């Protein structure tokens, strides 16, 4: 991550000729002081409210804690049993499968919608509102709705397939092979947030580049891939990382609809963690699970940040 930041700042200093100033020591000091002042709200919050509980959960991961009696230190026991736990691996693989499908699905579709909703068409405001609407409804209600829609025996979708097309319905959430893709499909109604972020970034693109491209006779696709994509790459990176983080933590859908089934095929990582914590009262074990997931997400985030170095361009100037 740091290299990419460096690259960005080097890049900018070259263009603006700040290099000479950077060498001036007092200026650098002033900047450093300003950094800590501006960052202070978060740092204070981290020290007071967030950091402590995180450290506490890290410590709990080395203990046996049932919430009632005080935690008992057990060393690496939790981690050792985790690596002998078949469910742990099952839930990890199911979740990985979900992430692999859901992240591209979310990014591509919400970008597509954002691009469409960025066109000069009538009723744009209404369209945008309608597309955002389901994201406002709480996750649980949406999950209930989908479980009702896709219920194999009584659900609307299978009823339509049966009555209008004479087809046998699909076991959306009951077929071991279909359950994860069905959960990905459900993400359709939760694209709103990602879409709005893309929309905001599309809206702030400089007009002159496109005008120049128009003069060159570039088609829409070329403009999209050669101008739009590079320009919004920081936001694509943001949405991708957020999608990775949230997909790894998928929980509600499975909790409401499938209870992890059939045969553990939707028993996502955080669902298992949730059960360990809240139905088995094994907070220590759950904390160990959480920290392994943390390491995994952390590594993946760092990987995407490093990989993105080549593709993400942070500054664009309107004079080129």
| Binding residues among 185-244 for other proteins as defined by CB under 8 A | 188-189, 193, 196-197, 199-201, 203-207, 210, 214, 220, 223, 231, 234-235, 237-238, 241-242
Smallest separation, CB 92 to other proteins (Å): 13
Smallest separation, CB 93 to other proteins (Å): 15
Smallest separation, CB 249 to other proteins (Å): 6
Q: Which is nearer to other proteins, 100 or 281 (CB)?
A: 281
Tell which one of 24, 80, 100, 137 touches other proteins (CB under 8 A).
Answer: 137
- CA dihedral (161, 165, 168, 171) in degrees, to 10, reads -20
Q: Is residue 260 part of the contact set for other proteins (CB under 8 A)?
A: yes
Tell which one of 110, 151, 182, 187 touches other proteins (CB under 8 A).
Answer: 151
Count of residues that interact with other proteins, criterion CB under 8 A: 144
Tell which one of 63, 106, 187, 287 touches other proteins (CB under 8 A).
Answer: 287
Q: Distance (Å, rounded) from C-alpha 201 to C-alpha 191?
A: 16
Q: Is residue 36 part of the contact set for other proteins (CB under 8 A)?
A: yes
**DSSP 8-state class, residue 137:** S
72-73 and 63-64: which strand pairing?
antiparallel
Q: Is residue 30 part of the contact set for other proteins (CB under 8 A)?
A: yes
Smallest separation, CB 100 to other proteins (Å): 18
Smallest separation, CB 106 to other proteins (Å): 14
Closest CA to 304 of 237, 252, 221: 237
- Which residues make Cβ contacts (< 8 Å) with residue 197, sequence separation at least 6? 235, 238, 239
- Which residues make Cβ contacts (< 8 Å) with residue 115, sequence separation at least 6? 198, 202, 224, 228
Tell which one of 102, 111, 114, 283 touches other proteins (CB under 8 A).
Answer: 283
Between CA 244 and CA 252, with CA 248 as vertex, the angle to 5 degrees is 120
Q: Count other C-beta atoms under 10 Å from residue 271's C-beta.
A: 23
Stated as kind and residue range, the H or E segment containing 187 is none
Q: Count other C-beta atoms under 10 Å from residue 251's C-beta.
A: 16
Binders of other proteins in range 51-110 (CB under 8 A)? 52-54, 56-57, 60, 66-68, 81, 86
Tell which one of 101, 132, 178, 308 touches other proteins (CB under 8 A).
Answer: 132
Tell which one of 77, 79, 101, 134 touches other proteins (CB under 8 A).
Answer: 134
Radius of gyration of the CA atoms of the chain, in A: 24
């Amino acid at each position: 991550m740091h290299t990419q930041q460096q690259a960005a700042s080097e890049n900018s200093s070259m263009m603006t000729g700040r290099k000479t100033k950077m060498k001036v020591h007092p200026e650098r000091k002033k900047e450093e002081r300003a950094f800590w002042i501006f960052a202070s709200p978060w740092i204070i919050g981290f020290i007071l409210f967030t950091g402590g509980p995180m450290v506490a959960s890290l410590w709990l991961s080395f203990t046996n804690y049932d919430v009632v009696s005080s935690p008992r230190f057990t060393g690496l026991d939790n981690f050792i049993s985790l690596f002998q736990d078949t469910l742990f691996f099952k839930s990890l693989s199911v979740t990985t499968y979900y992430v692999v499908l859901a992240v591209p699905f979310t990014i591509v579709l919400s970008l597509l919608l954002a691009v469409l909703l960025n066109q000069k068409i009538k009723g744009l405001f209404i369209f945008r509102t309608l597309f955002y609407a389901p994201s406002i409804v709480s996750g649980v209600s949406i999950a209930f709705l989908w479980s009702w829609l896709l219920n194999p025996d009584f659900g609307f979708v299978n009823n339509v397939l049966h009555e209008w097309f004479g087809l046998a319905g699909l076991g959306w959430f009951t077929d071991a092979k279909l359950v994860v893709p069905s959960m990905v499909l459900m993400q359709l109604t939760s694209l709103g947030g990602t879409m709005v972020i893309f929309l905001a970034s599309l809206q702030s693109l400089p007009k002159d580049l496109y005008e120049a491209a128009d003069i060159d006779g570039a088609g829409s696709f070329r403009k999209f891939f050669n101008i739009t994509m590079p320009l919004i790459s920081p936001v694509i990176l943001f949405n991708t990382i957020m999608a990775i983080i949230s997909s790894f933590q998928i929980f509600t859908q499975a909790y409401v609809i499938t209870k992890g089934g059939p045969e553990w095929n939707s028993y996502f990582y955080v669902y298992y963690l949730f059960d360990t914590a809240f139905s088995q009262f094994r907070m220590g074990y759950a904390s160990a699970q959480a920290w392994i997931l943390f390491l995994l997400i952390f590594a993946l985030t760092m990987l995407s940040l490093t990989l993105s170095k080549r593709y993400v361009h942070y500054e664009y100037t309107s004079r080129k």
